[in-house]
Chains A and B, each alone.
Chain A
Amino acid sequence: GNSVTQMEGPVTLSEEAFLTINCTYTATGYPSLFWYVQYPGEGLQLLLKATKADDKGSNKGFEATYRKETTSFHLEKGSVQVSDSAVYFCALSSGIKAAGNKLTFGGGTRVLVKP
């Protein structure tokens, strides 16, 4: 079956530091890949996505590239802010219509940015 593995947290950084959160996946076929973020006291929200190999998703200064050869979708941001403190989830959908919107999530990585 499908699975997603992401680095465990917490990750503690200073403001303006570079952030990388590793994510690797196991899936058959051609999955779509996502990063969702959960800010304190809020619901999960989509941060970015990529639907095919070599696609780069980007939003709010975050980027992730769909690497089929390494089955990875690492999240990066060049200069984090305190407001980026949140829990980040990597996820995939199988791309098979019968599976609907079934997302397989990683365990989440908590990021804390200190001023």
Chain B
Amino acid sequence: ETGVTQSPTHLIKTRGQQVTLRCSSQSGHNTVSWYQQALGQGPQFIFQYYREEENGRGNFPPRFSGLQFPNYSSELNVNALELDDSALYLCASSLGENTGELFFGEGSRLTVL
């Protein structure tokens, strides 16, 4: 059984640039959630995708957007990067849209300079 994989693992961008992070969900899982984890803090919910549609969003501005593909993999896009966007971005998959039992990847560490 393949777990959740994320790419890239690390990346550095400058303020104003755009970034795309990718996630492959665990085999058989149809729901993907994205979280932002600042250093020394708990993860914060960005949004969730179920059957290729966003069906839940946290307190993040519209410049955070995403996609889910027919194979349930997902992308997180962040436009107009700000310094405060520097964080670990976690992808989590689950079987079902409302279980709370999430399987997390190891994350993509984004540094914005």
Contacts and interface: CB of A to CB of B under 8 A. Distances in A.
Interface size of A as a range: 20 to 34
B94 A101 contact: yes
Contacts of B50: 100
B33 A46 contact: no
Counting from the closest, the 9 A-B pairs by CB-CB distance are A105-B42, A100-B56, A93-B100, A44-B104, A43-B104, A100-B48, A43-B106, A102-B45, A101-B33
B76 interface: no
Interface in A27-61: 32, 34, 36, 41-46, 49
A86 interface: no
Contacts of A89: 42-43
B66 interface: no
Interface of B: 3-4, 31, 33, 35, 40-45, 48, 50, 55-56, 58, 90, 92, 94, 97-107
Contacts of B44: 105
Contacts of A108: 40-42
Interface string A81-115: 00000000101010001111111111110000000
Contacts, number: 79
Nearest to A44: B104
Contacts of A49: 100-101
Contact of A32 (B33, B48, B100): B100
Contact of A103 (B4, B41, B43, B107): B43
A47 B63 CA distance: 33
Nearest to B58: A102
A46 B92 CA distance: 11
B44 to A, nearest CB: 7
Nearest to B42: A105
A99 B31 CA distance: 13
Contacts of B94: 101
A100 B101 CA distance: 11
